[in-house]
Structure 1
Amino acid sequence: MKSIACVGMAVADLIVGPTDSFHFTQDVTLLDTVTTKPGGDAANVALNLGAMGVPVSLHTKLGSDLFGDWLMNTYAGEGIDTQYVNQTDGDSTGVAIALVDKHGERVFLYRGGAVDSLALSDLDQSAILRHDIVHCSGFFLLPSLEEKGLPKLFAKAREQGVKTSLDVGWDNRGRWLKTIGPMLPNLDYFLPTLNEAQQIAGKSTIEECAQYFVDAGVSQVVIKAGAKGAYAHDGQIGFWVNAKPIDGVIDTTGAGDGFVSGFLASIARGLPFKDAVHTANRAGAIVVQQYGSTGAIKNYQQIELQGNNYEAVV
């Protein structure tokens, strides 16, 4: 089985809900659920991959504080290789507060903290490049890594025959293609959401976006389309993998990370690209049926068993 290095965001998630409104004129808003979970795109993917039996290491930055210690203990308890997780006294651990409505949709209040300063100098490049795949999550929320550090790391990975994978997140600074454009030729797998893909490519349809990325040099593209499933392009042809409706959606906080985890777990097992997209849909469907981004996926066999319940291809 292939090994994977996960690079990027790691934060503590505080998940509250359900709430459909929030008013500062109202002193108290009553909630049914307040829970703390490991969060951050890279950490979520690492935890899910570990649960699915994939050899994985996490490369990120935390504060030397209560949340940082808790996350380190959580990662270690889940069997994640944490020797490359830096804890710094210079800043606090990042926190994301997820406000979840009754339909499971969410918005975030976010402070990156220590991960905002994650730079190439914080990463053990030789350790990362000993893996078969290097995956980065939350690209646009890594200001000290996105423009100078990660492009160099991915270029070096491609030179050494290491596969590269990228999931971007939302660019609040609105730079999109200007920032990520130089990286596209060094991507083996690119996994944006439809909204992100439209912003980067400047195209309106999902098919046009996928073709744009392939033309820009990406080897294989998977564009996440929420409840519809995903549109993928293998470099030759594009195709849809549709997702069936799910009863009882509780929290979509970790849907995208679950999707990416399922995809990479299949790639690590040597499955064909199209089969990996199938698995991605299944994993995303499992994650949205509980609060938080991690913990719902117990093992790889669980995703295989759920296939007939959650997926159809057109």
Structure 2
Amino acid sequence: MNELSVLTMGEAMAMFIADDPGSLDDCMRYKRYVAGAETNVAIGLSRLGIKTAWMSKVGDDSFGRMILKTLTSEGVDVSHVLTDPHHPTGFQLKSKVEKGDPVVEYYRRNSSASKISLEDFPLEQLPKIQHLHLTGIPPAISASFRELSWQVLNDLKQKGVTVSFDPNLRPTLWPSEREMIEVVNRFAKKADWLLPGMKEGEILTGYSRKEDIASYYLDQGVKLVVIKLGEEGAYLATEKERTDIAGFAVTEVKDTVGAGDGFAVGVISALLEGRSYEEAVVRGNAIGAKAVMSSGDHEGLPDRAELEHYMKKGVLQS
């Protein structure tokens, strides 16, 4: 695909992952990576040959330059990224764990991305694309980024662009849970393809059954709801079909962060290629499994050959 297919937008940060398990208090050595849900998706899609642009703002600093170099090297279009000379690029520290989820500490207050506004990216200058991927993180970062995200979503939907949305709830970024639920649901109900985790679905809808969570959004006009169930796989729901899709067995969990972004890469890429909903979710499960078996947020995302090999050799959960 030579022309731009997908646009995504969000905040990227420098990420430092501890070399050794244990408390961040005691860690002396870290490895540096790029972190960001939307950049993970952009990189994953690019590795599969889908031309993707990431829209954002970074600081005029070494972290910002590192992010741009990384994305450029991955083939992601960064022509819609601005450099802010007044506000820094955010960063985070992440613990190394042998079981469970890592501890992550964020340093992003007053970051360059939090200062993004509609004035930075006039709607008439948006690129021509087939698909828009959003998460619930930009609306949480700042009121101005929320407004831009909402305007971009509505503008592109009116132009017939399909939209995927991953709630990616970050409660610590919101003034209250009530506001988080209200705003994220406003975006979720506009999506064509909605990709919540099970816990996120429970928080956002108040329902505890996956069937009821899916129905809540289908009744609002969402065409496809896929609820991520971790190692169990995912639950696919449309007006016409509902089914559980088994996950792929994971030999060793190295880092759970980024699994949901890998899942989104699988679903989006397959649907843009015209594959069925079920095929798309199977691919999402495969890439999500690949992601957790590697350190870093996007390091485990496969290229086309690696994906095909894994899907042939991978073992489904029994």
**TM beyond 0.5:** yes
Look up the match of 1:82: 78
Instruction: Specify the SS of the correspondent of 1:302.
Output: helix
Spell out the pairing of 1:296-307 with structure 2 (5 A cutoff): 296-307=300-311
Structure 2: how far apart are the matches of 1:145 and 1:219?
Answer: 29
Structure 1: how far apart are the matches of 2:18 and 2:121?
Answer: 33
- Deviating runs (4+, > 6 A) in structure 1? none
Q: Cα distance, 1:129 vs. partner?
A: 5.1
Match of 2:88 among 79, 89, 92: 92
Instruction: Specify the SS of the correspondent of 1:92.
Output: coil
Spell out the pairing of 1:151-300 with structure 2 (5 A cutoff): 151-172=150-171, 173=174, 174=177, 175-300=179-304
Look up the match of 2:21: 19
Q: Cα distance, 1:247 vs. partner?
A: 1.1
Which structure 1 segments of 5+ residues have no match? Answer: none
> Which structure has the higher relative contact order (CA within 8 Å, separation 6+)?
1
Please tell me whether residue 6 in structure 1 is matched to residue 8 in structure 2.
Answer: yes
Pair 60,205 (structure 1): closer, same or farther in 2 beyond 3 Å:
same
Show CA shifts across 1:1-21 (max 9, x none): 571011112111211255344
Amino acid paired to 1:119: S
Q: Cα distance, 1:139 vs. partner?
A: 4.1
Amino acid paired to 2:74: E
Structure 1: how far apart are the matches of 2:167 and 2:188?
Answer: 12
Name whichever of 259-268 and 113-122 sits farther off: 113-122
Query: TM-score normalized by structure 2?
Result: 0.88
Q: For the Cα contact (< 8 Å) 1:63–1:90, is it kept in 2? A: yes
Name whichever of 120-129 and 90-99 sits farther off: 120-129
Which structure 2 segments of 5+ residues have no match? Answer: none
Please tell me whether residue 67 in structure 1 is matched to residue 66 in structure 2.
Answer: no
Pair 309,95 (structure 1): closer, same or farther in 2 beyond 3 Å:
same
Please tell me whether residue 119 in structure 1 is matched to residue 127 in structure 2.
Answer: no
Q: For the Cα contact (< 8 Å) 1:245–1:310, is it kept in 2? A: yes
Instruction: Specify the SS of the correspondent of 1:195.
Output: helix
Structure 1: how far apart are the matches of 2:268 and 2:302?
Answer: 16
Pair 245,51 (structure 1): closer, same or farther in 2 beyond 3 Å:
same
Amino acid paired to 1:178: E
Pair 273,122 (structure 1): closer, same or farther in 2 beyond 3 Å:
farther
Look up the match of 2:134: 136
Structure 2: how far apart are the matches of 1:217 and 1:64?
Answer: 42
Q: For the Cα contact (< 8 Å) 2:19–2:27, is it kept in 1? A: no
Pair 247,39 (structure 1): closer, same or farther in 2 beyond 3 Å:
same
Name whichever of 140-149 and 164-173 sits farther off: 140-149
> Aligned pair count?
308
Q: Cα distance, 1:124 vs. partner?
A: 4.8
Q: Cα distance, 1:119 vs. partner?
A: 2.5
